[in-house]
Amino acid sequence: MHDQLNGKTGSNEPLPPSSQPTQPSPSMSPYIVGICAMHKKARSKPMTSILSRLRATGHFEIIYFEENAILHDAVETWPLCDFLVAFYSTGFPLDKAIAYAKLRRPYCVNDLRLQEALRDRRLVLKILDANGIPTAPRIVVSRDHGPIVSPELSERLRRCYGVNLNCNRDHAEGRVSDPDQHASHAHAMQSNDDDGNATALAEEKNTKNSVIHAAFATVSDVTEDFTQVDDDTIQQDGYALRKPFVEKPVDGDDHNVRIYYASSQGGGARCLFRKVGNKSSEFRSELSQVRMEGSYIYEQFMRVDNAEDVKVYTVGASYAHAETRKSPVVDGEVVRDASGKEIRRTTPLSDTEKEIARKVCRAFGQTICGFDLLRVGGQSYVIDVNGWSFVKGNEAYYDRCACILQNMLLHTTRRRRYSLSLPKGTGLDNM
Ligand SMILES: O=P(O)(O)O[C@H]1[C@@H](OP(=O)(O)O)[C@H](OP(=O)(O)O)[C@@H](OP(=O)(O)OP(=O)(O)O)[C@H](OP(=O)(O)O)[C@H]1OP(=O)(O)O
Ligand SMILES: Nc1ncnc2c1ncn2[C@@H]1O[C@H](COP(=O)(O)OP(=O)(O)OP(=O)(O)O)[C@@H](O)[C@H]1O
């Protein structure tokens, strides 16, 4: 293990100019890359494919944190590493991973604290807004007093993005709920956060309301007067949204999304869910009333080009692979190839979309980051940010991803050594 490398995250590190792999130096002992994720993700085919390429460079040794230890053992007993690949998926104890990173200060490939934000679609949308990333017009209906976040994340969102979550403190839980009615605009810059990470921070511009993308869009987190006015219209705080619209649970882990159709379209709703075999949604003609329990985001239904989603996968801020797939809204039939893989086609990103990918990667501090775009008549909108996710079944992507990661990590070690030798107060020692 290399003791000069710690306490950093890869999210803001620019890639070195060359995308060619750095040549191994036989004299160096390998850096230890710790994989701290649920077994299913840590041992997935894409992860295994990419890590075996990293290992083959001779620069890195890979160690897996066993799921049992992740779930049940104290973080003090977890293995040591130079670089930490840690990310939330269902059942993963994110708080423990954050505590481990604070204790051992490895270089975090994906920012851990901001992964808290990924779990609530309201926070995701606020961060997108704060970074000027286009989203669908929406109404937010909160019946839970807003997102629950740690004080550290709350402070970071305030400092980075001007998102104020500080008012309604829930003392019983020691957590913070969000009464903020508006998003602010911000520009990314770099600094250190309370968890000791260098990450995407923001320069608050104090431009309240400046990034609401439609006249009726609002980000209200304490819902007072939400009503379904008639079969086709919902309303809140004087803003109305007409069907077709999309109803999404605020919980990012809840994939029970509904699309409600207007009476003029025949009404009813299409219910989406995590794929079950070859099914991703089903139409229910009897649904016209929106759900009145729980908290939801209502988005304008976008009529997307070719009825396709665009799935984007970043590897650092300078590279993203994108694929189109049939939207689950079309008919809910998953189209698969002979090997059972959902059929997708690689699609080039426009310059604007590349800029969106760069901003998403940086804003959420997630080097490896999957997110979804909708293309509508020449405009692209981000509808979902998933965090750690790899392209599946694409050897060329695995090569590229491993190559970029290798260069990024090695580059980081060089920068870190250099910055450690700088006198304090130059400003560069915080990078
Ligand atoms: O991002 P990831 O790689 O962690 O995977 C996500 C999701 O990717 P997304 O978020 O980009 O949509 C996958 O959908 P796809 O990208 O393959 O279409 C989905 O696979 P799936 O439904 O089984 O799909 P099929 O393999 O049947 O085609 C997978 O479900 P699990 O199989 O239960 O792991 C999800 O994991 P989680 O969020 O932990 O439930
Ligand atoms: N505003 C919108 N307009 C049109 N279609 C939408 C909109 N928002 C979402 N969809 C459709 O609904 C699907 C599910 O939405 P979303 O990605 O937000 O949910 P999710 O459950 O988080 O999905 P994922 O499986 O990517 O995690 C999208 O893939 C897209 O086809």
Examine the fold and report which residue of 300, 317, 335 is the final residue of a domain before the chain moves on: 300
Nearest-5° angle of CA 373, CA 377, CA 380? Answer: 25
CA of 401 to the centre of ligand 2 (A): 25
For residue 164, pLDDT over 90 is answered with no
State the Cα–Cα distance between residues 212 and 374, nearest whole angstrom.
18
pLDDT at 314: 98
Q: At what angle are helices 395-420 and 45-56 packed, to 10 degrees?
A: 50
Instruction: Identify whether 210 is part of a domain.
Output: no
Examine the fold and report which residue of 276, 300, 324 is the final residue of a domain before the chain moves on: 300
Ligand 1: nearest atom to the Cα of 372: 11
CA of 210 to the centre of ligand 2 (A): 25
Instruction: Identify whether 239 is part of a domain.
Output: yes
Of 189-193, 240-244, 316-320, 399-403, the poorest mean pLDDT is in 189-193
User: Do 105 and 17 share a structural domain?
Assistant: yes
Decide: 334 in ligand 2 pocket, CB within 6 A.
no
For residue 359, pLDDT over 90 is answered with yes
Of 24-33, 104-113, 326-335, 386-395, the poorest mean pLDDT is in 24-33
For residue 125, pLDDT over 90 is answered with yes
pLDDT class for 423, splitting at 50, 70, 90?
A: very low
Instruction: For residue 176, give the nearest of 202, 204, 145 by alpha carbon.
Output: 145
pLDDT at 415: 62
CATH code of the domain containing 356? 3.30.470.20
pLDDT at 8: 52
Report which bound ligand comes closest to the CA of 45: 1
Instruction: Identify whether 394 is part of a domain.
Output: no
Instruction: Identify whether 219 is part of a domain.
Output: no
For 16-62, what is each residue's pLDDT tens digit?
434 444 454 545 689 999 999 999 999 999 999 999 999 999 999 99
pLDDT at 165: 76
For residue 331, pLDDT over 70 is answered with yes
pTM confidence score: 0.85
Mean pLDDT of the chain: 83
CATH code of the domain containing 408? 3.40.50.11950
Ligand 2: nearest atom to the Cα of 252: 22
Query: Which tokens in the block code for residue 14?
Result: 């620019």
For ligand 1, atom 36, name the residue with the nearest CA: 89
For residue 212, pLDDT over 50 is answered with no
User: What domain range is 295 assigned to?
Assistant: 228-300
Asked whether the beta carbons of 152 and 192 are under 8 A apart, the reply is no
User: Do 193 and 171 share a structural domain?
Assistant: yes
Instruction: Identify whether 397 is part of a domain.
Output: no
Q: What residues contact 72, with CB distance under 8 A and at least 6 apart?
A: none
Ligand 1: residues with CB < 6 A are 41, 89-90, 274-275, 311, 342, 370, 386, 389, 392
Task: Name the more confident of 193 and 217.
Answer: 193
For ligand 2, atom 19, name the residue with the nearest CA: 255
User: Do 91 and 122 share a structural domain?
Assistant: no
DSSP annotation string for 171-224: TTTTEEE--------EEEEEEE-TTS-EEEEEEE---TTTT--STT----SS-S
Instruction: Identify whether 176 is part of a domain.
Output: yes
User: Do 191 and 259 share a structural domain?
Assistant: no
User: Do 16 and 105 share a structural domain?
Assistant: yes
State the Cα–Cα distance between residues 197 and 98, nearest whole angstrom.
11
Instruction: Identify whether 223 is part of a domain.
Output: no
Query: Which tokens in the block code for residue 216?
Result: 């009726």
User: Do 94 and 140 share a structural domain?
Assistant: no
ipTM: 0.96
Structurally, how many domains does the chain consist of?
4
pLDDT exceeding 90 applies to what percent of the chain? Answer: 73
